[in-house]
């Protein structure tokens, strides 16, 4: 479902795609260690970050099963610069949500596929939420 920054194999897990990338691309220069970074455009491009809060999420904001809400419809690429896996969700505002995929630790994904591009608006630690 995601195109990894490095070449990798796409694995299906319970109907949700997860990337297994054998090589690791360096994080974008503005994606600090222990942060999850999201970008409005493909290939980690953002011009100016659309919001400092939403473009770089410190890992401490995602401790336990905390949920970080992102601005609706602006996520296209992302980099997980932490040692923890995180899930991406599309929440439709009515209480139901659809899992878009899982970000592996220390991996970048340059494009969120057309199904979920511009629809992901929740990030949480992997396994914390179930589809509603």
pLDDT digits (tens, 9 = 90+) for 8-32: 333 333 444 443 333 346 777 778 8
- Domain assignment present for residue 48? The answer is yes
- Domain assignment present for residue 50? The answer is yes
Structure pTM?
A: 0.73
The total domain count for the chain is: 1
Torsion of CA 33, 122, 124, 29, to 10 degrees: -10
- Domain assignment present for residue 28? The answer is no
**132 against 88, higher pLDDT:** 88
User: Whole domain around residue 91: which residue ranges?
Assistant: 2-22+34-125
Sign of CA dihedral 57, 60, 2, 79: positive
> What is the share, in percent, of the chain residues with pLDDT greater than 70?
69
- Domain assignment present for residue 55? The answer is yes
Residue 109 clears pLDDT 50, i.e. is over it: yes
Nearest to 47 by CA among 76, 7, 69: 76
- Domain assignment present for residue 98? The answer is yes
Q: What is the mean pLDDT of residues 36-50?
A: 72
CATH of the domain at 70: 2.60.20.10
């Amino acid at each position: 479902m995601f195109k990894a920054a490095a070449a990798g194999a796409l694995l299906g897990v319970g109907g949700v795609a997860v990337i297994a990338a054998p090589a690791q691309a360096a994080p974008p220069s503005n994606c600090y260690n222990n942060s999850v970074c999201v970008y409005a455009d493909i290939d980690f491009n953002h011009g100016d970050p659309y919001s400092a809060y939403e473009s770089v999420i410190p890992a401490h904001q995602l401790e336990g099963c905390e949920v970080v809400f992102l601005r609706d419809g602006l996520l296209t690429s992302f980099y997980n610069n932490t040692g923890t896996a995180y899930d991406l969700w599309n929440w439709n505002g009515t209480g139901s949500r659809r899992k878009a995929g899982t970000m592996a630790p220390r991996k970048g994904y340059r494009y969120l596929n057309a199904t979920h591009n511009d629809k992901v608006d929740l990030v949480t630690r992997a396994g914390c939420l179930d589809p509603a």
